[in-house]
Amino acid sequence: MDQPSTPIQMEGPVCPVPLRHNEQIVLGHGSGGRMTNDLIRQVFQPALSSPALLEGNDFARLSLPEGAALQGRLITSTDCHIVSPLFFPGGDIGRLAVCGTVNDIAVSGARPLYLTAGFILEEGLPIDTLHRVVQSMQAAAGEAGVQIVAGDTKVVERGKADGLFITTTGIGWLPDQIHIGGERAQKGDVVLVSGSVGDHGIAVLAERGELGFTTEIKSDTAPLNHLIDAMLQAAPHVHVLRDPTRGGLATTLKEIAEQSRVDIQLEEKAIPIAPGVRAACEMLGFDPLYIANEGKMIVILPEDEADAALQALRAHPYGVSAMRIGAVLPGQSGRVSIRTPLGATRVLDMLAGEMLPRIC
């Protein structure tokens, strides 16, 4: 790793003591003193170098998009990430922490611009683990086109946390002409999903060894902002966008139905579910409609733009298996129902308790 670029003559150590990758986090790394400084300069800044981070203040100065300032609003969202284990097929806590917050911003219709990241580390965490996570964050941020501009690190004693928790907060910019929100679903609208559901939850479960068999399922963790941009070009009048994370497709649609005071009906056979996810859910007694996703979104939009939206989604790597899965009915009771292949209808409520803790 590089030394910081501005060596200064001073008493005490002239340059920070290089951290060895086989070292572990100790309480001193959270002291706010020299060791915190070394960790920032040697682990965080080299990976996450943005102009704001390099200024070395406790705050970041940010610019708004050129000329946009008076015709829009800021969008912000925050998410804590506590997934266990830290690494899983298709992702890790770092990629998840970036994508989760990028997606929460992007489903408002806004352009995600900046992220902050707060790290709570357990004493004893290998510094190499932190390295890998931070590099994964930077890769995901690069893919999404956002800058990580501010951070904080705290360390707690062994046994007072579980390795590493990351809280990210995003800031985006929403031009005034975009109107997307959970309260805007209307009767006659069409419901799309951008791809198969349940992959993330099952991939994490499998990595924990809780399936009892091996599976090829990978987490779908991905930043959706470019997919959304492409879709909004083709279908500019989208009413609702939301990423069905914790609680899955069913809980998210139920939230939307309540917010918009509409009824929503799904067609079970239209909902894309990977064979491995279906098999795992059947064995474990889970309903895949309640399993978390981290790279999928629900789209609710007028019928006349549905085909154009589907086409745009399927043309993007993160939307190839997008499907039309249901419709908004004339009722106003906030009910979500699903029609089975045999023609029966069952009602979907929100997830009641906790099926899969520590999934995100």
The reply to whether 218 sits near a second copy by the rule CB under 8 A is: no
Q: What residue has token string 């009910």?
A: 335
- Could you give phi then psi for residue 79, rounded to 5 degrees? -145, 135
Cis peptide before 175 (omega within 30 of 0): no
**Cα–Cα–Cα angle for 297, 164, 287, rounded to 5 degrees:** 35
Looking at the Cβ atoms of 27 and 230, the one nearer to a second copy is 27
Amino acid identity for residue 176 in this structure:
D
The reply to whether 162 sits near a second copy by the rule CB under 8 A is: yes
Count CA atoms closer than 13 A to 332's CA, side-chain side. 1
Pick the binder of a second copy from 15, 18, 23, 31 (CB under 8 A).
31
Pick the binder of a second copy from 60, 231, 280, 329 (CB under 8 A).
60
Q: How many residues does the chain have?
A: 360
Q: What does the H/E/C string look like for 167-186? A: EEEEEEEEECCCCCCCCCCC
The reply to whether 350 sits near a second copy by the rule CB under 8 A is: yes
Q: How many residues bind a second copy (CB under 8 A)?
A: 97
* Residues 50, 54, 56, 57, CA torsion sign: negative
| SS3 label, residue 345 | strand
Give whole-number Cα distances, 182 to 80, 237, 300, in Å: 22, 14, 9
The interface mask with a second copy, positions 38-57, x = CB under 8 A, is -----------------xxx
The interface mask with a second copy, positions 68-87, x = CB under 8 A, is -xx--xxxxxxxxxx-----
Pick the binder of a second copy from 41, 131, 246, 296 (CB under 8 A).
246
User: Candidates 66-74, 188-196, 204-212, 269-277 — which segment interacts with a second copy by CB under 8 A?
Assistant: 66-74
What is the closest distance, in whole angstroms, from the C-beta atom of residue 125 to a second copy in the complex? 14
User: Candidates 42-50, 58-66, 217-225, 311-319 — which segment interacts with a second copy by CB under 8 A?
Assistant: 58-66
Q: Which of residues 261-280 bind a second copy (CB under 8 A)?
A: 261
Pick the binder of a second copy from 91, 223, 247, 276 (CB under 8 A).
247
| SS3 label, residue 16 | coil
Q: Which of residues 86-125 bind a second copy (CB under 8 A)?
A: 104-105, 107-108, 110, 114, 116-120
